[in-house]
Amino acid sequence: MQEWLNASAGDLGRGIGVGKIDPVDLTETYLEAITAHEFTPRIYARLTEDRARAEAKAASDRAKAGQRLGLLDGVPISWKDLFDSAGVGTEAGSALLAGRVPDRDARVLRNATAAGLVCLGKTHMTELAFSGLGLNPVTQSPPCLNDTSAVSGGSSSGAATSVAFGLAACGIGSDTGGSVRVPSGWNDLVGLKTTSGRVSLDGVVQLCAKFDTVGPLARTVEDAALMLAALEGGRAADLRGATLAGRRLAVLRDVVMDDLDPKVQAGFDAALDAFRAAGAVIENLSAPEIPDAMELAGLLYTSEAYGTWGKMIEANPTAMYPEVLTRFRAGKAHAAHDYVAGWLKLDALRQTWARRTAGFDAVLCPTAPILPPEKTRLESDSAYFTERNLLTLRNTRVGNLMGSCAVTLPTGIPSVGITLMGQPMQEERLLRLARGAELALQPKD
């Protein structure tokens, strides 16, 4: 049964479907692994054992009766602690929300439950999701899979590590500036950033509603596709026959290729070579609108974040980690007319980007330009925290600013991911392309 802990969600579902795996046994295997694991207190904020067991028993009964709800019926997953869960604390990694217990599930959790997925519990995260590092001295800072002295990436830190350490078949997180893709990249997972407005935010604790998105952190592209369908109550993308042959891919050269860690550069270059070998046509792309959009990020993000949380923060500022508090308070400096003008400019830049990239199947860049920083230095060096946080989120933020959907894939070098950005609302097309890329990146015999 231990092999179940590292199996894909799709494979677990197929095992249930043919009677080789009972959802009750599968859930108990996960719960036992969670109980025994040394890093569980740093990964899970709270478990939902009673709910998990009840959902697993119902899935088992359906399987025995030949009435399964779908491929993922009976598969156990984790949820970032900003998705409302009825009767269970949802605190978004913040002492400001300590004791907050919603009375109903978020819509995406309701949809996933309706698809038969089993809720294992809620995972730790950065305070109110406002950092890409995964450091949270207020609650817990999950460790990186490849270096447990380093941070795991955020803000969906526990979502990623629950999967990476074999404590969930998939994790559900959110992405506002990179919060699904960074921890996925640093923990060698597939992470899907959906288009803003596609997946429901009903019952999701907000950071910046105009940028917030919901997405899975998974072991495979298939799992990401299956989970997207479950979150929406829809049908998964058809990945059969996926290939890179003849696909036209662009390598973005503006901003995202600056100051790369040598291992990141090596992983990215090796991935490009694998894509070319699989038949992809790869071209360089210069997009002057990207640096222009980057200049708007501070204005747009901090204004909305502080507008959303400022009153609660100022009522109890000492409850917040100082570095995150400083990020929120930066929003106080911006005038309303500058914020409106900023969005008008970004909308125009998005149109330019859409025209420039329309002829490509995807735009490529390294997921994060650096490797996971060491936790204790981040805690002791304020300037280092600020510099590493901004650099960590630099590349992923392109997808949010441009309104793209995006997926990160592991390159084979630990903690190095490659990102494919697609057009808005074209997740199924992007996932099919990502499956071709995933196949190209698999080690050759």
Catalytic residue among 60, 141, 155, 415: 155
Catalytic, 332? Answer no
Give the separation between CA 325 and CA 126, rounded to whole angstroms.
12
Residues in contact with 432: Cβ distance below 8 Å, sequence separation at least 6, in sequence order: 237, 238, 239, 242
Give the separation between CA 138 and CA 405, rounded to whole angstroms.
31
Give the separation between CA 238 and CA 258, rounded to whole angstroms.
36
Catalytic, 155? Answer yes
Catalytic, 156? Answer no
Catalytic residue among 179, 303, 404, 415: 179
SS3 247: coil
Element (H, E) at 77: strand 76-80
Tokens 């900003």: give the residue.
Answer: 82
Q: Which amino acid is at 102?
A: P
For 199-241, list the strands marked E by DSSP: 213-218
Q: Return the bridge partners of 18, or none.
A: none
Catalytic residue among 80, 122, 193, 375: 80
DSSP strand pairing (171-175 vs 76-80): parallel
Give the separation between CA 269 and CA 81, rounded to whole angstroms.
36
Residues in contact with 343: Cβ distance below 8 Å, sequence separation at least 6, in sequence order: 210, 300
Assess contact for 195 and 170: CB atoms under 8 A.
no
Tally the residues of the chain. Answer: 445
Catalytic sites, residue numbers: 80, 155, 179
